[in-house]
């Protein structure tokens, strides 16, 4: 498969309360984001249409679609993966899954010069989705594994002698997490993932040949999906 240089990437995310879409084309970034819980399925495709029109291209001109693969809400992940499937199948485009936690960490690295990032998303039921990252050549790189657990089971794997940037709703829900080390500082500007940050991660992932066909699209729930189905009203 031959890609354009630079890559033309469309990124989509609906895995949390935030809904976002972004496009990189000819070195320019076009994006939309909205805090729109329970409206993701209505908001995402119009966002995609807007940024494609703004760039004066069509979906057929895209090289790869990056999608938020989770962790996050069951419904949100399902919306993102199903819409990615629909868009990619129509044009026979490859796809690449991007962690929502990594997208948050990348935003902290790219826009706030973070070197170590501790991400936590409130998972409800007294649990959090957690990922710890370091910047390697400006790319958010996972340390250990992403996990879902109760806050008391989190083990900090970052260098506690150096500043650690914290981001995500998990720290609002469980402020004691900020006391795990003296040099943890909450970055309030990064609460949810943003598709803009996914563009950088997708470009790096494609270079490492981590993209797949749409048939191999792989969401990551981290939690038994049956549990999510039992939660009434959850997005």
Burial 48-78 (b: 16+ CB within 10 A, else e): beebbeebebeeeebbbbbbbbbbbbbbbbb
Supply 198's token pair: 């996914």
pLDDT value, residue 229: 33
Predicted pLDDT at 27: 93
Q: HSE on the CB side for 144, CA within 13 Å?
A: 15
> How far from the centroid of its chain's Cα atoms is residue 176's Cα?
24
| The pLDDT value given to residue 225 | 39
From residue 12, alpha-carbon distances to 160, 170, 217 in Å are 33, 22, 14
**CA–CA dist 87, 217 (Å, integer):** 13
Regions of the chain short of the pLDDT cut 70: 224-235
Res 224: pLDDT: 59
> How confident is the model at residue 197, as a pLDDT?
98
Query: pLDDT at position 39, please?
Result: 83
Q: How far apart are CA 75 and CA 11, in angstroms?
A: 18
Query: Three-state DSSP class for 32?
Result: strand
The predicted-structure confidence for 205-225, as pLDDT tens digits, reads as follows 999 999 999 999 989 998 753
- Write down all domains in the chain, each with its CATH number in brackets: 9-100+193-229 (3.30.420.40), 101-186 (3.30.420.40)
* Residue-level pLDDT at 146: 96
pLDDT in the model for residue 117: 98
């Amino acid at each position: 498969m031959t890609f354009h240089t630079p890559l033309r990437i469309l990124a989509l995310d609906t895995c949390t309360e935030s809904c976002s879409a972004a496009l990189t084309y000819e070195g320019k970034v076009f994006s939309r984001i909205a805090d729109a819980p329970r409206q993701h399925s209505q908001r995402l495709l119009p966002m995609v249409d807007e940024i494609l029109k703004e760039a004066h291209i069509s979906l057929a001109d895209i090289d790869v679609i990056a999608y938020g693969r989770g962790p996050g809400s069951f419904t949100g992940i399902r919306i993102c993966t199903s819409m990615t499937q629909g868009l990619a199948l129509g044009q026979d485009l490859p796809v690449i899954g991007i962690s929502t936690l990594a997208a948050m960490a990348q935003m902290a690295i790219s826009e706030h010069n973070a070197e170590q990032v501790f991400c936590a998303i409130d998972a409800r039921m007294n649990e959090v989705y957690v990922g710890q990252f370091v910047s390697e050549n400006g790319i958010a790189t996972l340390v250990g594994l992403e996990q879902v657990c109760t806050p008391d089971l989190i083990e900090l794997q970052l260098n506690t002698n150096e500043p650690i940037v914290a981001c995500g709703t998990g720290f609002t829900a469980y402020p004691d997490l900020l006391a795990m080390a003296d040099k943890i500082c909450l970055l309030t500007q990064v609460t949810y993932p943003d598709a803009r940050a996914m563009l950088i991660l997708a470009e790096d992932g494609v270079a490492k040949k981590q993209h797949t066909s749409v048939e191999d699209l792989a969401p990551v729930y981290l939690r038994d999906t049956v549990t999510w189905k039992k939660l009434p009203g959850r997005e």
